[in-house]
């Protein structure tokens, strides 16, 4: 098995795990947190926010760095298979950008309990929508990464 095959399979694996985690959060945790009264949400966010951050941070970093590394290696050593790997890398960077463009500030507002109950309800709706968009990108990157791995394997 070549280095490129190992990288594309590892990329598909980490992105599958990442997409699965994002989907689980979208379908289970987000609806639950949105159903809570503000006081209870803030209490639980105090406990779960740091735990979720510790879980998703390394997963997000791996789901960004591995696709970027794979795209660079494929571009250098197997440029004919570069397209799918480049798309996966772009999708992964887009997912990371959502953190800096939205989630960092939103999560800080939750941690600091800055929002009134009405503002919190509205912000959790926005948070859910951006998370669903991000989850869609994660699923797309996982699917494309599987196709990229298959393409590399079939050309070997």
Asked if pLDDT for residue 156 goes beyond 80, the answer is no
Asked if pLDDT for residue 142 goes beyond 90, the answer is yes
Asked if pLDDT for residue 155 goes beyond 90, the answer is no
Predicted pLDDT of residue 25: 96
Nearest CA to 67 out of 2, 104, 16 is that of 16
Find the angle CA(34)-CA(99)-CA(126) to the nearest 5 degrees. 30
pTM across the whole model: 0.94
Q: How many CB atoms lie within 10 A of CB 70?
A: 30
Asked if pLDDT for residue 7 goes beyond 80, the answer is yes
């Amino acid at each position: 098995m070549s280095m490129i095959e190992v990288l594309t399979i590892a990329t598909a694996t980490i992105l599958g795990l990442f997409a699965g985690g994002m989907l689980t959060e979208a379908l289970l945790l987000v609806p639950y947190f949105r159903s809570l009264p503000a006081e209870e949400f803030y209490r639980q966010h105090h406990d779960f926010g740091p735990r979720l951050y510790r879980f998703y941070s390394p997963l997000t970093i791996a789901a960004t760095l591995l696709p970027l590394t794979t795209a660079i290696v494929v571009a250098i050593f197997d440029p004919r298979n570069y397209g799918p790997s480049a798309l996966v890398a772009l999708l992964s960077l887009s997912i990371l950008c959502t953190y800096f463009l939205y989630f960092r500030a939103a999560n800080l507002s939750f941690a600091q309990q800055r929002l009134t109950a009405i503002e919190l309800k509205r912000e959790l709706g926005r948070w859910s929508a951006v998370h669903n968009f991000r989850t869609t990108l994660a699923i797309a990157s996982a699917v494309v990464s599987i196709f990229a791995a298959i393409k590399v394997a079939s050309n070997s």
